[in-house]
Structure formats: structure tokens, C-alpha cells
Structure 1
Amino acid sequence: MYHNNNTNSSNSQQQPHQSTPEIPPHRTTLENDLERNKDDEAAGNEIDVPPSSDQDPDSQMRKKQRYHRHSHDQILEMECFFKECPHPDDRQRRELSRELKLNPLQIKFWFQNKRTQVKSLHERHENNLLKAENDKLIAENMRYKEALLHASCPRCGGLTGEMSFDEQQLRAENMRIREEIEKMSAKIQRFDGKPGSSYYNMPSQNQMMPPKSLDQGVGNYRAQTHMIGEMLGDNNEFLGTLPISNDFEKNIVMEIGNVAMKELTNLAMAEKTLWLPGSCGCEILDQDEYLRSFPKGIGPTPLGIKIEASRHSAVVIMDYNKLVEMFMDVNQWANMFCGIISRAWLHQVLEIGLTEIFDGASQVMSAEFQVPSPLVPVRDDYFVRFCKRRSVESWIIVDFSVDQLRPSSFTKSRRRPSGCVITELPNGYSKIVWIEHVELEDNEVHELYKSYVNSGLAFGAKRWVASLGRQCERLASAMATNIPPASIGVLTNGGGRRSMMRLSERMMMSFCTAVGASTANTWTLLTVAGEDVRVMTRKSVDDPGRPSGIVLSAATSLWLPLPSTTVFSFLRSENSRNQWDILSNGGQVVELAHIANGHDTGNCVSLLRVNTQDSSQSNMIILQESCTDATGSFVVYAPVDLMSMNAVLKGGNPDCVALLPSGFAVLPDGPEPMVGSGGCLLTVAFQILVDSVPTSKLSASSVTTVSSLIKCTVERIQAAVCSGRTN
């Protein structure tokens, strides 16, 4: 639907519109014209329509109808801006109007039309999904009815189809109740004369303490959950792989969520008695004090299980409403923490909460948490996320695993109440208090990474907060408009900055996904000249973000006797790149443009060019992003075609640019006292297109070539480190 562009009618803007019983005589013709121009609307073209006829009977002048078709560049710029900000304010509309040489009202109406168009497409897609689901349910119902007509009674052998529907329902309910009674009777006999155990059906960590349950602040819920645990017995599929499909299961989760939210709030606001200073720079939970403060927490801790619990706080440059939205959108959440989350899924929405603010929302999710190295196993958790508005300026987001409702099973990793308390601060800032509380079996971590994992830096609260702060600075940089035009090498074009940063963001996510030990990656261990190199292959077909063919990935990790900050500075600098980059053929690397991503000079997106005599590389440039925080650093890069990059720098769509990112992850090798004086952990990873035909077979020579490439790169870095050329 198009809007009337009343740019020349001052009276209509100053006076409220009053409806009249008669339709202006030109209205029907105008509506027919608008109906005929639906194709222009779908293409994003703005149609300027004259204002309605003047209500004053003395005014007989009518302006001639004008049609204005936006140019391709105008539409492209507005499309790019719409993806970042669908609701521009007055200032942003005025800036766009100056850049595109359009009237601010034209900008306003284009965005209104675009939002209407996107909403219509979204509703049409949802309707199609609902229709398909409805058809599926109808077909399934017909199959059940057909099977019911030919089913036989297990007791008498007669056909149940001869019964009425009500009689069949009563018999089915009767059998269900009988089975439930028999199951409960067996449980009563089993536990007769024994002290009451919790619904875990496993020994607690301290046998002398009373069993823990869910009755903290929820009345007689302890007795209810005890009965539920005994009724469920050995049903390991309850709430684990099956959806929460009825009110009974949903009420259990909601009650646990209330307890988890209270515990997280108390832990976040607790004084120093509960928390001890940790070696990794964050606070560590005192387990003895925790058991005294929360004697009836969410279930006991089984014997032999490792506990990791930490707290960290910081101030980030992001509005608290945007933070809540990001946490409750699984895709935004996974993208924001791409260095920590390898994969994430949203399984079920239990409560949508209040519209747009997520107050009272709850979701069933699962995720894989990783360290950027194939040597550290991922931690996979299945959990429920609760979001609650604590006050006008404060929110609570809490995660807790639902595995505790499985009486006889325990996954390798389980989240006790974990999450964050978000408090609004002036000028678009927010304060974050993060709690990370996990129970897990001690996975087989490679000896190289044991110190890093045990220090709490790998999966603790400090890493989450540091990553969040860095990403918030990155988003703020992407939206910045006050870039000094005289800055040397700084990209100032707004559309070009946004497109280049979107391309770099996709490059970072692709690298982090490919380098870790996610279950989506199948690594094969090879030993090349005494070095362990892990290799895997992927076939890329019809993927606009990757070149088509067979992609070979290789990664290795090693220890270097230098602080992580020194190694990071050496790898990110264009002046030292020719010391390790074999593909540059020793040519000098120069920086063409860069975008700063925060206060730290190491956080930036750069566009590099290699000055080489090789004519085959004359049209190839390198897109590189480097980022660092207190828990680790990345240097990720990918070769990009010059023509494609020119289109991106003009504000073009970066999603179709093919990338195969390679790079480095640099981590401290232990707790904070060792950082700066000890060594660091370096992961080197390459992705190379070995054959442009996806159906081809991988040759042994390709594997040998890539393995030799990564080995040679490692040797060059070690040689530079040992000779002191990193300074």
C-alpha cells in the first residue's frame, strides 16, 4: 500500500485530517492507478501521489499527479539501510534524503512501504507453513482413524472399531491409569523403608546433608517433584528429546524456572561471602557457602562431577532492550558469540511473553559451546531460557538444563542457573552481571589446553562478558556516522562501511564454525613430520557464500613461548605478514582501507593488497579482521576478488561474495598471573579449494600439499618468534 506524499501541502500537515461523507472525485482513478503499480511497489519504487483535494470550498486548485521512480542506486542504499535499521528516526531520514537527494517524506514513505511488504511476505510464509502443518495433521488423523477401525483389543481380541468413539476413549484412559497405578506401586515397594530420595534417583555430593529439591519459595513443590521423579522411573526421553507437549510438563518447567530465576538473582547481587577472587580475573563461587545459602537448590550434584561457577560484570555500549532482543533470538545470540557458540537451535517456545519486550518469555534451546581449537571437546547443553523484567530498568535472563527431570540419566554437561542481569545506564549503555554455573563430566581435554580450560577462561563468565563487550563496540562502530573525512585509510562511506563489516562478520562466523571440535566437523588426524594436523573435507554446492567444489580444511595447535598479546600483534600487522604468509610470495603487504571496531587498536577490519610481480594475483586483495579481548584473540583473513570488493565498497550486497577464511586463534596458556610472562596457545587453520568440481574425489596429493602448507607456516612463525622479529 502506497502513502500519499503530501510534500507540497502545508495545510494538510498543520491541520488534523477530518473525514467527509463524500469521496473526492479523483479518488477512484488514483486507487486504480496505484493498483496498476503494484509491481513498482515490489521493486521498491516510490510513487509520489498528489495530496487529497482541499477541504476548503474556495480552493479549486489541484496539483497534477506525479510519478517518481527511484534510481537503482537509491533503492540499493535504502535496502542496505533497511536491513540495519527498519525504523529510521527523523535524523536518519534527513541524512538519507541528503545522500540520495530525495525528500524526507519520500524516504519515510519508502520505509513504510518496505515494512508493509516485508510483513506481508512474512505472514504469507507463516500461512504456508501453517497450512502445510494442518494438512499433515489431517492426513495423520485419517491414518489414526483407519488404524483404529482395524485395531484389536489386547485382552479380548475383538475389533475396537466396533466400539463408539467415547467408549474407545474411556478404555484407553482406563488402561493408562491402570499402568500408572502399577508403576507407582512398584516404586513404593522399591523405596519402602528407605529415606526419601530426590527426583534425581542418584546419590548427592554430600550424603550427610538433606536432599535438595525445588521447594525454595514455591510452597509444597518439593513433594510434587519427588512424586514426579518416582512416577517417571527410567523414562530417559522425558523432556530430553521429546517436546514439552502438555500442561503438566510445562508447569514443571515453569516452577523450576521461577526457582532458577530467584537463585540467579541472589547470586548476581550477593556480597563477597559467596564469591572468592579467581586466578582468571573473575570471581569463583565458594561451593561450601553456596550449599549453606541454597540448601534446597535445583537438585543435588552427583558424585564425581566437576563444577565450574564464576561471576563477572562489565559495562557495554548497547541499549538494554537491544540486548534482551539479542538474547531471545537464537540466531542473533549465536552470531554475537560466534567464537563461543559453534551451533545453536531453538526447539520450542513455551511462552512468548509480552509483545516486543519478552517479559515472561521462555524457550527450549540447545547449543554447543567451544574453544577455537579441534583439541578441546565441545560442551553441548539442552536447556530452557527464561526472560523476566525485574524492574523498569532491569532484566533477568536465566538458563537451566532440564536434564534433572530425567531420574536416571546425566548428560556430560548441565547448566545450573546461569545467565545475566542487565541494568539500564544513561546514554545507551548497560551493565551486565554474568553468572556461569555448570556441572560436567571431566572431558578428555588435550594436555596442551588443560591449563587454559581449568583456569576458567575457556567457558567462564569472563569470556562471555569480554566477547559481548567487544561485539557491542563492533556494532557501535558499524553504526557510527561521525567519521573524520581526513583520516588516512579510514573508510568513511556509510554504505560501504556497513557492507564491508557484514562481509567480515560472515567471514569470522565461518572461520569459528570450521576451526572447532563441533559435532558438525569430522576431523581426521594426520602426522606430518612429527606434527599433528587435523584435516577434513567439505563439498560446497550452490552456496553463494562459498566457491563451488571440494574444500579442504586443515588445523593444528601449538604452544609458543611468548605472551598472547605479542603474537597477536605480530600476526595482525601488515609489516610482518611476509614473514609467515607463504601465499604472498614475499611481497610487501600494504593496507588500502580499515574500519576501527572499538577502543583497542587491535580490533579492526582491514583491506590489504600484496605488491607482487605475479600477474595472476594482481586482481586479488585480502579482507582481514583482527579482534582481541582479555580471554583471547583472532586474526582471520580471506582472499577476495577485486571486482567483488569494489561492489561491496560501494554499498552492494556482500552475501554473494565467495569466501574461504583462514587464520589464527591466540589464547593465553593459563590463568591471569601467567599472561604476559608465560606462553600462549596458537591454532592455525587453513581452508583451500582443492577442486572446483564437487563430484571429484579428493586426491592424496591435495592433502599432502595443504598439510605441508600449514606445517611451513607454523615453522615460519616459530622462527620469527625465536629470533625476536615479532617486535
Structure 2
Amino acid sequence: MEGQGGDANRLMAGNFHQTNINSLRRNREEEEEEHESRSGGSDNIDGVSGDDFDAANNPPRKKRYHRHTPQQIQELESMFKECPHPDEKQRLELSKRLCLETRQVKFWFQNRRTQMKTQLERHENSLLRQANDKLRVENMSIREAMRNPMCSNCGGPAIINEISLEEQHLRIENARLKDELERVCTLASKFLGRPITSLPNSNSSLEFSFVGVNNNTLPSTLPLGQDFGMVSISPPSTIRATNSSNGFDRSIERSMLLELALAAMDELVKMAQTNEPLWIRSVEGGREILNHEEYKRTISTSCIGLKPNGFVSEASRENGVVIINSLALVETLMDSNRWSEMFPCVIARTSTNEVISNGINGTRNGALQLMQAELQVLSPLVPVRLVNFLRFCKQHAEGVWAVVDVSIDSITQTSPSFLSCRRLPSGCLVQDMPNGYSKVTWVEHAEYEESQVHQLYRPLLSLGMGFGAQRWVATLQRQCECLAILMSSALPSREQSAISSGGRRSMLKLAQRMTNNFCAGVCASTVHKWNKLNAGNVVEDVRVMTRKSVDDPGEPSGIVLSAATSVWIPSSPQKVFNFLRNERLRSEWDILSNGGPMQEMAHIAKGHDHGNCVSLLRASGINSSQSSMLILQETCTDVSGSLIVYAPVDIPAMHVVMNGGDSAYVALLPSGFAIMPDGHSDDSDNQRVNGSLLTVAFQILVNSLPTAKLTVESVETVNNLISCTVQKIKAALQCES
């Protein structure tokens, strides 16, 4: 007993000693927290974080405090508002700028986050105490009322225990379900643009019917009136985003996406319909420039959060009339395959990751889907923009539709370091016009990391001419005009009628595949698996890539080498385009011409402009002993830029194509040019002329064996080919200097 009593005494003494230590530790934590609150986060402990404490058995060590200067505190606070969790690179830059150690910066942010968390907890505790006091008062009043219950119908004394406990629970649950139903109906009304009656057959009481009511279910359908029929609404527990190929968090409810889509739609409509002072007309060129201050004050919904550090904004708006009705255009935009075919030079690849809503009654009104796209400018000096976005379609009136895109990176909590572009609410408003035409108002608004863009293309992108609304509308007009001409029974006067209608379709399909392969080889999109090379003899601005072509009937089998570069030329884009597409002048720059003239064997018009066409050229050598060859070429031009793509083709294969045969088995490797304005306006004071940004790209089969390895000679050959072609073009345009 004495031994047991001694052990008990020692145990109690140890517990008492440990209690004292814990009490001292808590007092010390409170003192440090109060000290941080008084100093506003301006003190920093050298070498010790706010979460570390000395061991209980060791004597406390005196900590050294450093008082930051007001300028340092201001910089730190400003950084904390933008990024409470800076990474190692940001902390290093901040420490160099403020003349602090990285550990001091790290611990300052730790202490500041702790202080912020403590303040929030105190505020929440205060609110909870107020709510608790309110509930206590209500509870006392209810208890007082229960002592003298009164009947609500007759006003007399009520009989105790006439309402069962189960019935009370059902009444409470029905009240909760009604509130939930009202919330869903309100959200659906915004989604559809029309009011929805939530309870058409219910009375004024809080209850539905007790029969068949389950605590975890909602009505499976909501009445929407005779115009819309019935739309299915899932219970809250099942409203989840499911397909998650792009990393989308499956636990996020679809209601969050719907609210994001509604906010983006409201912003798009305001951006499209509001003029000055939101959009200011530029004196030079008449472009519309977004007034960012007015945008932040009156339009911005901040639906995707603050702009990341190092990002710049680009915004543009364009109006145009196109030969397509609103329903056909909406169907094209909501189908990822048709969307990419309509804009082949802008979209490298696109896919629909999940369809959240197909629309109402077989229409696209209310269609909502998650999409992914790779957007491109045809130059190796401009990186491909990979965007994950939500696309929402809504009918605003008869013959008036709107389609809006908005990035979902803020919802998926993607780290800013992995983002190069964010798509703010962008899209188009479409209004029907007579004779199958439509008026389109296009808005493009994005934020991107400018440091990844070459200096040559920064003016072009900052004006919104690279990925902006002008390029989308111009491409849409050109493509719709091409479709109208191809569907017409009457051929253009300048087109040769020797080709049958089947041959025209087959030849256009082959040209489309050729152009798509060319674009994929310039920008290194994920259409093909390219491997970038870092060869020592290649100029820095020339991108050289390789890939293996195996089991593809549309390409020769072996090692394919792609090389592309972009240069500035002091000539207008139209002058450069007219020179390069002129078959009589082709021998001045093209080695495939064998130094002789080119003859156009076939011509298919794709627009009223002579530059929009598909041609079949025959190259004949100066000497009769040289063999002839055929070159398939597609040229297209609009106000946003021009494109010339060509590839040598086998003569027997082209005979099959021109007779309407399958073009999928014609092997070709395309080369060509992309021409865009340089983004600068005329300057009469400096006598500066408008220039062009010319992209030159070649794809060459360097070895017919897929197992072969690339040699240095092959890389040098294609590099010399690009350099020689650029020099010949400059010499022919008399702009070598």
C-alpha cells in the first residue's frame, strides 16, 4: 500500500508539474499573440517560427526580435494581400528587394497568417455568441408559450400532446425542403431567363403532404410551363461534377458552375452592349480599347478572382455580319469538332470534357459544358494557350442567342505557376437578320503571362489582334463565305469546271488536312507528339522538332523534321501575301520550282477574294529532262492575316482525288507561310512603314525508317533551307536591309 501510495503521489505530482508547464506555455502563447497584434505583424523572430516552442524540460531561450521598417511592412502587407502563401521564388525576390533574410520573410508570413486566423476566429466566436444568445431568448419564449398552449383555429386552450414527435420532425423537414426548393427554382429561373413556379399545387402552409415524403428527397421534376415542358433536377446530394479528365474537383456542386456561368453571361452581355466610356475608340486605326477603370467599376463580376502576378490583360470587341443563321452558329459553337473546323488556324485542339446540361426541349437554350482548348497564333515565338473553361449558351429573345466562355481555374484551385492564360468572360452575341445572315458581336477578354511571348509579337497581342475578337470574326466570315460558295450550285466565273463536284469535295478535304498538319507543326501543339531539339548550329529563334510517323496512311513513314521561325519584314502583309502566292514569281524563293515557271492546273475558289482558294500547281524544270511534279496549295486571307500552305503530291494519287476518290491515303508533308500585321500603326513623324510578321515553316522526311536516328547534317540542312528562303524573300521584296 505504501509503495502504491508513493507511486500515486509521484504520478499526481508529475501531472501537477505538467499542468503548470502547459499553463505557462499557454500564457506565453497569449503574450506573443498580443505582442504580434500590437505590432501589426511587423516583428519577426530570428530563426524561430510562430509555431515552434522550446521543450518543456529545457529552460526558455531568449528570442531576438527585429523591428521592420515601415517601408518593409508596407511591401510585406501589399504582397500578403495578393498572395498569402508565396512560394520560394517569390520569398527570395521579396527578401532581396527588402534587404531581409528569406527566413525572416518566411516567418513574417507565417506569423501574419496566424494573426489573421486568430482575428477571424475571434470574429466568428463573437457571431456565435450573439447567435447563441438569440437562440437562448427564443428558447425561453417558446418554453413560456408551451406552458399555456392555444389553438390557432378556435383560440381556446390546446390539448397537450396532440401533435406527435414524428409529425413535428416531418413539419420541420418539410419546411427545410421548401426552402431548398425555392432556392433551386430561383437559380433555375436565372438559368432559363424565365420565372418558374416552385409549388403550383401547394397551399399557404409550410407543409407538402406527409404521405410519401422522404427526408432526403426532392421532387424529380420542376414544372416550367407549357413553353418548356419539364426539366430534370437532381437532388443536392447527387449534383456533382463527375467526369474529371482535366483535374476538375468532383466534389464541387454543379450549382457553383451554374452561378459562375450566369455571372459570366451577365458580364458578356454588358461588355457587348455597352459603348463609351467602357469602350473608347482609338484615333489610330479606329480600334476599340477597353477602359479598365470603368470595367472594374461597373462591369467586372470578379468571377475568376484577382489577376496573377506577371499577367497582363488583353481585351477586344468586334462586330460583323456573317452568312449563317443564329441557330446554325450556336450549334457549331457548342460542338467541339465543328467549332475547331470553323476556326482551323485559331484552334489547335479542343474537346468537351463534360456535358452538364444539353439544353431544354432539344434546343441549346441552357446548354452548359466543360471544355478544353489549345489556342494558337501561327508562330513558334508565341506559346500555345491551354485553357480549361465553362461554355454556356442562352437564348435571350427570338432569334437572339449568346454563348459565353469563362475559365474554371479559380474553382479548380489551379496553382498560378501552372497557368499561362486565363479566359475572362468572352464569347459572342448573335442576332438573326434577313436572308439567312446574322449580326455577330464578339468579345475577347483574357489575361496571360507576357514574359513567355517574344518581343516581336507583344504589340500584336497587346492590341488583341493575335487572339482577339477581330481574328475570330474575320475567320468566321471567311469560313461562312466559303461554305456558302461550296453549297451553291453555280460555280464562280474564274473557277475551272473540269473537276467534278466529288473531286472538289475530295480535293478540299485533302487541303484541309494539309493545313491542319502545317499548323500543328508550327506551334508544337499536342496534335502530334513533337520532340524539341536544341542543336548548337541552329539560330535561337528557329524551333526544330522531330517526330516519328508510323502507320499513318496520310503521311510518309519515317522521321519527320519540322523547322519554323518568324521574322519581321518592312513590307505590308498584303504585299507579302500577293508575292508569295503568285505562281509566276515562285521561282524567286521556292527550290521546288526547279528554277522554272509554275502553272495552275486546277483552281477551287473558297471566297470572293482571289486569295481564298485551293490550287494544284505543276512545276516544270528549265530543262526538258527534268521530271514534272504537282504541288497542292491552299491560300486564305482576311483582315487579321494570311496563310499559304503547300505540299508536293504524287501525280497518280491526285488523279484519284480529282475524280472523287478517297483523299485519306494521299501522303503529304506541308510547308508554308503565315503572315500577320506587326501590331504597329503608321507614324508619319518617324517615317515608319507598316511591317509584317512572317512565319516560315518546313516539314521534311529526313529518313524513311522509323527506327533511324536524326543526324546533325539533317538539322543543318533544314536550318539552311529556312535561312535561304527568308533571304530570297527579302531580296525579292527589296527589303534586305
Q: TM-score, normalised by structure 2?
A: 0.63
Picking from 496, 504, 511, the partner of 2:518 is 511
Return the offset for 1:659: 1.6
Question: Does 2:260 correspond to 1:252?
Answer: no
Picking from 249, 272, 275, the partner of 2:276 is 272
Question: Letter of the aligned partner of 1:651 in structure 2?
Answer: G
CA gap of 1:190–1:573, structure 2 versus 1, over 3 A, is farther
Indicate if the aligned counterparts of 2:620 and 2:628 stay in contact, CA closer than 8 A: no
1:326 is matched with 332
Picking from 378, 385, 389, the partner of 2:395 is 389
Return the offset for 1:336: 1.9
Indicate if the aligned counterparts of 1:526 and 1:534 stay in contact, CA closer than 8 A: no
Picking from 462, 478, 495, the partner of 1:454 is 462
Give the length in aligned residue pairs: 501
Question: Letter of the aligned partner of 1:576 in structure 2?
Answer: L
Question: Letter of the aligned partner of 1:313 in structure 2?
Answer: N
Question: Does 2:720 correspond to 1:708?
Answer: yes
Return the offset for 1:489: 3.5
1:422-437 residue pairs with structure 2 within 5 A? 422-437=430-445
Indicate if the aligned counterparts of 1:239 and 1:405 stay in contact, CA closer than 8 A: no
Return the offset for 1:244: 5.7
1:276-295 residue pairs with structure 2 within 5 A? 276-278=280-282, 282-294=287-299
1:389-443: CA deviation from partner (whole Å, max 9, x where unpaired): 2222011111111122255843331111111111112222111111111123333
- SS for the counterpart of 2:452 is coil
- SS for the counterpart of 1:482 is coil
Question: Letter of the aligned partner of 2:469 in structure 1?
Answer: A
Indicate if the aligned counterparts of 1:578 and 1:584 stay in contact, CA closer than 8 A: yes
What is the CA–CA distance in structure 2 between the aligned matches of 1:616 and 1:391, rounded to whole Å? 68
What is the CA–CA distance in structure 1 between the aligned matches of 2:494 and 2:344, rounded to whole Å? 31
Question: Letter of the aligned partner of 2:342 in structure 1?
Answer: M
1:191 is matched with 120
Picking from 547, 552, 565, the partner of 1:543 is 552
What is the CA–CA distance in structure 2 between the aligned matches of 1:640 and 1:616, rounded to whole Å? 20
Residue segments in structure 2 that go unaligned for 5+ positions in a row? 1-113, 125-185, 191-241
Residue segments in structure 1 that go unaligned for 5+ positions in a row? 1-184, 196-216, 222-236
What is the CA–CA distance in structure 1 between the aligned matches of 2:451 and 2:588, rounded to whole Å? 37
1:652 is matched with 661
1:611 is matched with 620
CA gap of 1:574–1:556, structure 2 versus 1, over 3 A, is same
Return the offset for 1:565: 0.7
1:471 is matched with 479
Question: Letter of the aligned partner of 2:291 in structure 1?
Answer: D
- SS for the counterpart of 2:571 is coil
Picking from 307, 312, 323, the partner of 2:318 is 312
- SS for the counterpart of 1:481 is coil
- SS for the counterpart of 1:191 is helix
CA gap of 1:408–1:656, structure 2 versus 1, over 3 A, is closer
- SS for the counterpart of 1:656 is coil
1:346-385 residue pairs with structure 2 within 5 A? 346-354=352-360, 357-385=363-391
What is the CA–CA distance in structure 2 between the aligned matches of 1:398 and 1:583, rounded to whole Å? 46
CA gap of 1:442–1:238, structure 2 versus 1, over 3 A, is farther
2:446 is matched with 438
1:470-502: CA deviation from partner (whole Å, max 9, x where unpaired): 111222222221016x74635552212111111
Question: Letter of the aligned partner of 2:504 in structure 1?
Answer: R
Indicate if the aligned counterparts of 1:607 and 1:624 stay in contact, CA closer than 8 A: yes
What is the CA–CA distance in structure 2 between the aligned matches of 1:303 and 1:189, rounded to whole Å? 27
Return the offset for 1:522: 3.7
Return the offset for 1:525: 4.4
What is the CA–CA distance in structure 2 between the aligned matches of 1:714 and 1:408, rounded to whole Å? 41
Indicate if the aligned counterparts of 2:517 and 2:670 stay in contact, CA closer than 8 A: yes
CA gap of 1:482–1:241, structure 2 versus 1, over 3 A, is closer
Larger-gyration structure (1/2): 2
- SS for the counterpart of 1:696 is coil
CA gap of 1:599–1:677, structure 2 versus 1, over 3 A, is farther
CA gap of 1:616–1:463, structure 2 versus 1, over 3 A, is farther
2:733 is matched with 721
Question: Letter of the aligned partner of 1:273 in structure 2?
Answer: P
Question: Letter of the aligned partner of 2:254 in structure 1?
Answer: K
1:421 is matched with 429
Question: Does 2:507 correspond to 1:500?
Answer: yes
CA gap of 1:399–1:194, structure 2 versus 1, over 3 A, is farther
1:481 is matched with 489
What is the CA–CA distance in structure 2 between the aligned matches of 1:526 and 1:426, rounded to whole Å? 58
Question: Letter of the aligned partner of 1:393 in structure 2?
Answer: G
- SS for the counterpart of 1:302 is coil
Indicate if the aligned counterparts of 2:495 and 2:604 stay in contact, CA closer than 8 A: no
Question: Does 2:507 correspond to 1:524?
Answer: no
CA gap of 1:218–1:618, structure 2 versus 1, over 3 A, is same
1:345-393: CA deviation from partner (whole Å, max 9, x where unpaired): 2211111123653221111111121211111112221111111122220
Return the offset for 1:599: 2.0
1:491-527: CA deviation from partner (whole Å, max 9, x where unpaired): 5522121111111111111111111143654433446
Return the offset for 1:553: 0.8
Picking from 572, 578, 582, the partner of 1:569 is 578
What is the CA–CA distance in structure 2 between the aligned matches of 1:682 and 1:191, rounded to whole Å? 56
Picking from 688, 697, 700, the partner of 2:709 is 697
Indicate if the aligned counterparts of 1:321 and 1:357 stay in contact, CA closer than 8 A: no
What is the CA–CA distance in structure 1 between the aligned matches of 2:362 and 2:625, rounded to whole Å? 52
1:312-339: CA deviation from partner (whole Å, max 9, x where unpaired): 1101112322211211111221222221
CA gap of 1:272–1:548, structure 2 versus 1, over 3 A, is same
What is the CA–CA distance in structure 2 between the aligned matches of 1:302 and 1:550, rounded to whole Å? 43
Return the offset for 1:672: 4.8
What is the CA–CA distance in structure 1 between the aligned matches of 2:514 and 2:488, rounded to whole Å? 21
Return the offset for 1:602: 1.1
Indicate if the aligned counterparts of 2:594 and 2:620 stay in contact, CA closer than 8 A: no
1:246-272: CA deviation from partner (whole Å, max 9, x where unpaired): 6x5211001111111111112111133
CA gap of 1:652–1:553, structure 2 versus 1, over 3 A, is same
Indicate if the aligned counterparts of 1:592 and 1:609 stay in contact, CA closer than 8 A: yes
Indicate if the aligned counterparts of 2:681 and 2:690 stay in contact, CA closer than 8 A: no
Question: Does 2:247 correspond to 1:242?
Answer: yes
Return the offset for 1:573: 0.7
What is the CA–CA distance in structure 2 between the aligned matches of 1:194 and 1:575, rounded to whole Å? 79
Picking from 342, 350, 368, the partner of 1:336 is 342
- What's the C-alpha RMSD, in Å, of the aligned pairs? 3.0
Indicate if the aligned counterparts of 1:499 and 1:652 stay in contact, CA closer than 8 A: yes
Indicate if the aligned counterparts of 2:247 and 2:412 stay in contact, CA closer than 8 A: no
What is the CA–CA distance in structure 1 between the aligned matches of 2:299 and 2:255, rounded to whole Å? 22
Q: Identify the structure with bigger relative contact order (alpha carbons < 8 Å, sequence gap 6+).
A: 1
